[in-house]
Chain A
Amino acid sequence: MIEEVTLTRRPRRAPVFLWGNVLVLGWLAAAVVLAVGVEPWGLPVWLPLHAFLLGSATTAIVLWSEHFVVTLCRVQGPSDRRLGFGLTAITVLVTAVLVGVVADLTALVALGGTGLAVIATAHTWQLLRWRRAAMSPRFGYLIGFYAVASGALVVGAVLGAGLALGGGWYARVLVAHVHVTLLGWVGLSVLGTLFTLLPTTLGTRMSENTAPQARRSLWVLGTGLVVAVTGVLLDLPPVAAAGLLGYAAGVGLAVVPLVGALRRRRPRGPAAWMVTAGTAWLAVAVAVDAVRLLLVGPVAAVAPVLPVLVVGFAAQVLTGALTWLLPVVLGRGPAEREDVAVVLGHWWRTRLVTANAAVPLVVLLPATGWAVAAVAFGGFAVLALAVAVPVAVRGGVRAVDGPRLGGLVVGVAAVVLAVGFATGGHDRPATSAASRTVDVELDGMRVHPAVVEVPSGTRLVLRVTNREDVRHDLRVDGGPRTPALGKDETADLDVGIVDEELRGWCTVAGHRAAGMTVTIRTAGGHRHGTADSAGEEPDPSPGRVARDARLAPASAETTHRVELHVVEHEVEVAPGHRQRMWTFGGTAPGPALRGRVGDRFEVTLVNDGSIGHSIDFHAGTLAPDGPMRTIEPGERLVYRFTADRPGAWLYHCGTMPMSQHIANGMYGAVVIDPPDLPPVEDEFLLVGSQLYLGEPGSDAQVARIRAGTPDAWAFNGTAAQYDHAPLTATASRRVRFWLVNAGPGDGIAFHVVGGQFDTVYREGARWPTTGAQALDLAPSQGGYVELAFPEAGRYAFVDHDVRHAENGAHGYITVTG
C-alpha cells in the first residue's frame, strides 16, 4: 500500500536530479565504449570497470539512496545546490582517478581517491544524522543499510588509493578492496533498496515482517563482511571464507521477504526480471567466492567472481532499477511516464537474455563476454540517453524515433566494425629483420629481466609468463600488449622492430607505480663512445667478474699438456646480457696458453657439445687432415704441435661453417714469447672479436654473421667489460698489451687514448718505431704493443675503428702514480 505510492509520490524533477541521472547513463555509456576499446586500443580492463562502478554505479547509489531516504523516511533532503556540488565533485574526482591510473599520475590518483573517501565520509555522516531525524522509523533499516554501505566506500576508497600507490601487501589489499566495494558499497546499497524496490517493480506489497527481517540481515551481512575483509587482510583464508559464508547467510535472510514477494507475483516487466536475476547472481557469486577462497586462495578466487558481480549483479540491477525509476523522473504525468517506459523497454527480453548469457562468458571467454555485455548494457544506455538527454536539456519528453535510433546504432556498429578491421593486424611492413624471442617473467610485482637489450632493428618478441596469483599483463609503449595472464599463463608479445628505447609495464592499476616496468634497449648507438658515457650503460649482472686480462708469465715447463672441453655454456656477452655460447673450456675466448719458442704442446680436445667441433692452432705447423678433423659429441682427439716461432697466435674451431663457430665463441690465443722479450711491469692479453646476439646457429644470427653486421665488438669476449672493471697500471712503468684478432670478420686498430706505443710487434716483426698510435690486425693476426703511461689517470683503450669502440671494443686502464 505504502510502497506502491512512496516511490512515485514525490517525483523529483529538479534539473540537478535529472542531470544526475544523465551522468549515471553517461558513465554507463562511457564504460561500454571503453569496454569495447579494451581490445583494439589496448586499454586496461580496469578502466571500463571503474568507469562503470566508480562513475555510473556510485553516482546512481548516491543519487537514489538520498532520494529514497528523503522520500521514505520523510527527512529534509539536501538543497539542489548541495546535491549538484556533490555530484560534480564525484564526477571530477572519479575522472581524476581514471585519468591518473591510465596516465600513471600517482598524485592524481591519490587526490581522487582521497577526495572520494572524504565525500563518502560526509555522505555517511549525513545518513547517520537523518537516522536520528527520520519521521518514519519503519524505514530506519534503509538508512542503516546505506550508512554501512557508505562506510564501506570510505574503506574501499582508502584501500583502492593504497593499491594505486603500489607497495607491498598488494594481493591482500586488492582482494579486500574488491570485497569491500562490491559486497559492501554496491551490495548493501542494492540489498537495502531491494526490500522496497522489488515488491514495487513486481506490483505487489512489502510484507509486514520486511523491516525486522531487513534489520537482522543487515547485522549478519555487516558482520560477515567485516570478518571476511579482516580475514583477507590478515591472510587467513578460513576466516575470510567464514565471513563470506556469513555474508551469504545475510543475503539469504534478506532474500526471504523478496522470495515471498516473488511467490505472490511472478516478475513480468524488464525491471523485475533484471533486478531478480541480478540478485541471484549476487548470491551465486558470494557462495562460489567463499568455496573457492578455501580451495584456491583469495586472489585466484576473486578473479572469476569479480566479472560475475560486475556484469551479472551490479550492471543488471542498475539497468533494472533505472528501467523502473527513470520513467518516474523523466515523465510528467502517467502518459509521459508510459512513453518513457515503452522506450526503456525496447528489446528488453533480448537484452535480458544477452546480459545473463554474458555472465558465464566473461569468465570463460572474457573478450567475447565483455563484448556481449557491452551490447546488452550499451543498448540500454543508448535508449535511456535518447529519452533522458532531451528531458534534461529541453525539460520535456520527446518521442524517440525508434527506427532512426536503430538505424544510427546499426550505422555506428558498421563503422566500428570497418575501422576495427582496417586497423586490425600489425601495421608493420613484412621484413627480413632478425627476430629474437626473449623470455620475461612477471613475479613479485616485478618484470624479470627489468632490462632487455637487443640490437637496433631486431624484431623482438617477448614471451611473457606470469608466475604469481595476482593477474598481470604487459604492455609496451605504442600499444602492443598481452591479455591479462593468470598464474603460469604465457603469452607472446610482438614488440615489432625495435629501433629506439621502449618502456613496458603492467597495466593493472597500481602495478606500474609498484615497479612492474621493463626497459627495452637497443644495443648500439652512442653509448660506448665518450669517456663519460659509462653511466648510461646497463650494469653487469651482480657478482659477474670481468675476465682477468693479465697474462701470466710462461711456466718453466717445456711441454704443456692441456685438456680442452667443448662446452655449450651461457655467457654474459655484454653488460646485463647473457646468451648461450659455444666455448673451449667454458669461456669465450678459451684459456690463454703461453710458452717459449721450442715448447711442445699436447692439447686433448673433448667434445662435450651437441654438434661436431674441431680445433686449429696457428702456433704450430702440421698436416691439418688428422689433428684438425671434426669430432662428434662425446669424441676426443689429441693435437700435438711444437711452437717454433714466437708471436701471438690464434686458435679456433675449424668446423664449417667456421664463421659461426668462431662468432659463437670458439677461439682463443697462444702466446709464444720471443727469445729476447724484456720483462715489463704489467702484461695484458686482449683477444678481439665480434659479437652476434641470438641463439647460436639460428637463422637470424647466421644471416647477420654472413652479412657481417655484428651487434657489438668485444675485448676478451664481453663488450665493454673493462669499462666496469678497469685494468690497472702504474705511471711511468712499462706495460705490454698482447693482442689477437679472433674475428670472424673485422680488423682491429688498437689504440690507447692519451698514450703512444714505443714498441710495436706485429706478426713476428718488431718495428723500429719512434712512436706508434695504433696496432692494426687483420682477422687471425696478433702482436703486442708497449708503452709507459706518462702520469696517473684514467686512460681508455679502444679499437680505433670507432664504430667498434662505440659498440663495445672499449675499456679503461686506471693508472696510479
Chain B
Amino acid sequence: MIGVPDVWTFVRFAHVLGAVVWVGGQLTISAVVLPPVRALLGLEQRGEVLKAVGRRFALVTVAVFLPGQITTGALLAARHGVTWESLAQPGYGRVLVAKLLLFAFVMAASTAHGIAQSKGATGRARAASAAALVGSLGIVLLATALVEDGG
C-alpha cells in the first residue's frame, strides 16, 4: 500500500540513505578506489591519499552517520511499537537486537581500523576494515529481514 508520504517516510528515507552511503562508501573505497590508488601512486602519495580518504570517512561517520542512524533508528523502532520487552521475543525483536549487536561490532571494527591505521599497523588495519565491511553487509541482510517481517 502506498500512502501519502508523511514525516515517517522521510525518517525512513534518511535511515536507508545513511546505510546506503556508509556501506556503499566502504565498498566503493575497497573495490573501486583502492586498487587504482595502489597501482598508480607511489608509496608516499598512496599513504597520503588513503589517510585523507580515511580521515574524511571517519569524520562523516562520527559527525553525520552515527548520530543520524541512531536517531532515525530509535524513532523508527518507537514508531514500529518496539518495546524493551519485545526485544527478547523471537521474530522482529530478536532480529533488531542481532542487527544492533552487529552494528556495534562494525563500529568497534571501524574504530580498531582507525586506531591501527594511525599507529601504522597496516596488517591490523586491513583485518579490521575487512571485518567491518563484511559486518556491514550482514547488517543490510538483517535489515532486509526486518522489512520482510515488519511488512
- How far, in whole Å, are A115 and B114 apart by their CA atoms in the complex? 55
Return chain B residues, CB-CB under 8 Å to A406: 127, 130
A421 with B130, Cβ < 8 A, contacts A403-B124, A415-B135, A415-B138 known: no
Q: Does B94 contact A (CB under 8 A)?
A: yes
Report B86-122 CB contacts with A as 1/0, cut-off 8 Å. 0001110011011101100100010000000000000
Return chain A residues, CB-CB under 8 Å to B49: none
Pick the interface stretch among A423-431, A587-595, A713-721, A801-809: A423-431
Q: Does B29 contact A (CB under 8 A)?
A: no
Decide: B134 and A414 in contact? CB cutoff 8 A: yes
Decide: B94 and A414 in contact? CB cutoff 8 A: no
Contact of A422 among B99, B129, B137 (CB under 8 A): B99
Q: Does A402 contact B (CB under 8 A)?
A: yes
Decide: A414 and B123 in contact? CB cutoff 8 A: no
Decide: A418 and B90 in contact? CB cutoff 8 A: no
Decide: A421 and B131 in contact? CB cutoff 8 A: no
Q: Does B141 contact A (CB under 8 A)?
A: yes
How many A-B Cβ pairs are below 8 Å?
Answer: 83
Q: Does B50 contact A (CB under 8 A)?
A: no
Contact of B128 among A407, A427, A428 (CB under 8 A): A407
A403 with B138, Cβ < 8 A, contacts A418-B102, A422-B94 known: no
| B contact residues, range | 20 to 34
- How far, in whole Å, are A424 and B89 apart by their CA atoms in the complex? 10
- How far, in whole Å, are A793 and B124 apart by their CA atoms in the complex? 87
- How far, in whole Å, are A423 and B91 apart by their CA atoms in the complex? 7
Chain A binding surface SS class: helix
Decide: A404 and B127 in contact? CB cutoff 8 A: yes
Q: Does A401 contact B (CB under 8 A)?
A: yes
Return chain A residues, CB-CB under 8 Å to B142: 418-419, 422
Q: Does A410 contact B (CB under 8 A)?
A: yes
Q: Which residue of A lies closest to B130 (CB)?
A: A407
A425 with B134, Cβ < 8 A, contacts A404-B127, A418-B102 known: no
CB distance from A382 to the nearest CB of B (A): 13
- How far, in whole Å, are A429 and B93 apart by their CA atoms in the complex? 12
11 contacts between A and B (CB under 8 A): A401-B126, A403-B126, A404-B129, A407-B126, A407-B128, A414-B102, A414-B138, A415-B134, A418-B102, A422-B97, A422-B142
Decide: A426 and B90 in contact? CB cutoff 8 A: yes
Q: Which residue of A lies closest to B124 (CB)?
A: A403
Q: Which residue of B lies closest to A428 (CB)?
A: B90
Decide: A407 and B90 in contact? CB cutoff 8 A: no
Decide: A408 and B131 in contact? CB cutoff 8 A: yes
Count of interface residues, chain A, beta-carbon cutoff 8 Å: 25
Return chain A residues, CB-CB under 8 Å to B94: 421-425
Return chain A residues, CB-CB under 8 Å to B137: 415
CB distance from A30 to the nearest CB of B (A): 20
Contact of B133 among A411, A423, A427, A428 (CB under 8 A): A411
- How far, in whole Å, are A407 and B109 apart by their CA atoms in the complex? 9
A410 with B90, Cβ < 8 A, contacts A418-B99, A418-B142 known: no
Return chain B residues, CB-CB under 8 Å to A422: 94-95, 97-99, 142, 145
Docked complex: B64-104 residues within 8 A CB-CB of A: 89-91, 94-95, 97-99, 101-102
Q: Does A703 contact B (CB under 8 A)?
A: no
Decide: A419 and B141 in contact? CB cutoff 8 A: yes
- How far, in whole Å, are A425 and B131 apart by their CA atoms in the complex? 27
Return chain B residues, CB-CB under 8 Å to A411: 109, 130-135, 138
Contact of A427 among B91, B124, B131 (CB under 8 A): B91
Q: Which residue of A lies closest to B102 (CB)?
A: A418
A418 with B127, Cβ < 8 A, contacts A426-B90, A428-B90 known: no
- How far, in whole Å, are A404 and B113 apart by their CA atoms in the complex? 12
Q: Does A412 contact B (CB under 8 A)?
A: yes
Decide: B105 and A414 in contact? CB cutoff 8 A: yes
Decide: A404 and B130 in contact? CB cutoff 8 A: yes
Among B101, B138, B141, B142, the one with the most A-chain Cβ atoms within 10 Å of its Cβ is B138
Report A386-416 CB contacts with B as 1/0, cut-off 8 Å. 0000000000000001111111101110110
Return chain A residues, CB-CB under 8 Å to B132: 411
Decide: B90 and A419 in contact? CB cutoff 8 A: no
CB distance from A235 to the nearest CB of B (A): 47
Return chain A residues, CB-CB under 8 Å to B99: 418, 422
Return chain A residues, CB-CB under 8 Å to B101: 418, 421
- How far, in whole Å, are A430 and B93 apart by their CA atoms in the complex? 13
- How far, in whole Å, are A202 and B137 apart by their CA atoms in the complex? 44
6 smallest CB-CB distances across A and B, nearest first, come from A411-B134, A407-B130, A415-B138, A407-B127, A425-B90, A422-B98
Return chain A residues, CB-CB under 8 Å to B124: 403
A410 with B97, Cβ < 8 A, contacts A415-B141, A422-B145 known: no
CB distance from B64 to the nearest CB of A (A): 24
Return chain B residues, CB-CB under 8 Å to A430: 89
- How far, in whole Å, are A415 and B91 apart by their CA atoms in the complex? 17
Return chain B residues, CB-CB under 8 Å to A429: 91
Contact of B135 among A402, A405, A414, A428 (CB under 8 A): A414
Q: Which residue of B lies closest to A405 (CB)?
A: B130
Q: Which residue of A lies closest to B116 (CB)?
A: A403
Contact of B123 among A403, A408, A427 (CB under 8 A): A403
